[in-house]
Amino acid sequence: MTKKRLTILQLYPRDMNIYGDHGNMLVLKRRAQWHGFDVRVVEYNPGDTFPETVDIVLGGGGQDSGQDKIQQDLLSIGPRLRKLADDGVPMLVICGLYQLFGTFFKTQDGHVIKGIGLFDIETVAGPERLIGNIVTKSDDFGDIVGYENHSGQTFLRAGVAPLGTVIRGAGNNGQDEFEGARHANVIGSYLHGSLLPKNPAIADWLIERAAVNRYGTFTPATPDDRFAKLAREHAIKRPR
Ligand code: GLN
């Protein structure tokens, strides 16, 4: 019997891929295989052809200069990404791409990098970088563990749901208690680390959403998560 296939689109791995973000792709791929899928990973860099078939979109963080580099291309594929989001395609975007899935990021030196406005959020660089280990709490995924390093302070406009509320760390801006954002099946977050190895519940949710979209059903396997549990416990105990 041929296996069902899922296609993961990795956005801008050349320019937007720091603090272990590549690990999100590795975990998603392996867990999807454990759940019985054949997995195809498509790397998309500026100027590439946008694939016809996309089941999950992943994107990472980057320096301000990396965000400058990909900005024009991102704006050009923005309508396709928004259409995929409207169709329920799950996505996970971290830090630099989380910011540019919002309306704009105004950097420390005052220039504005426009985003695709998929999230109704805005980001302005603050006086100090927000750096360190972070733990947040979410209704859907329990405690979420990661590492943050950003100058941007992100504010959710009215009606935008956060991914979690901060237990320890700064989160979106260090002022309100929010971390990340959600819209349809799209998750934005500041958490690097990588995020998914220590938070397999989020990985499985992305896979489940993708499988239901394409095939109508999802029958989960029961992966051995002992190492993920140990990694989580260890990370939660680390000092900020
Ligand atoms: N350059 C952005 C900032 O400093 C994003 C950083 C990141 O992706 N880690 O806020």
Determine contact, residues 177/156, Cβ cutoff 8 Å. Answer: no
List, for residues 224-233, the tens digit of each pLDDT value: 999 999 999 9
Domains of the chain: 5-237 (3.40.50.880)
Mean pLDDT calculated for residue range 95-110: 97
Handedness of CA 16, 20, 21, 23 (dihedral sign): positive
Q: Model-level pTM? A: 0.97
User: What would the pLDDT profile of 144-190 be if each residue is shown by its tens digit?
Assistant: 999 999 999 999 999 999 999 999 999 999 999 999 999 999 999 99
* Cα-to-centroid distance, 150 and ligand 1 (Å): 4
* Phi and psi angles of residue 169, each rounded to the nearest 5 degrees, phi first: 120, -170
What confidence tens digit (pLDDT) does each residue in 15-57 have?
A: 999 999 999 999 999 999 999 999 999 999 999 999 999 999 9
**45 touches ligand 1 (CB under 6 Å):** no
CA dihedral defined by 4, 9, 13, 16, rounded to 10 degrees? -130
Q: What is the H or E stretch that residue 209 is in? A: helix 200-215
| Residue that the structure tokens 């019997």 belong to | 1
Q: Which of 70, 151, 172 to mutate to test the pocket of ligand 1 (most atoms within 8 A of CB)?
A: 151
> CA-CA distance, 170 to 135, in Å (whole number)?
9
∠ CA 140-143-144 to the nearest 5 degrees? Answer: 90
pLDDT for the residue numbered 88? 98
pLDDT score at 240: 80
Compute CA distances 78 → 9, 70, 217, whole Å. 14, 12, 28
192 included as an active-site residue: yes
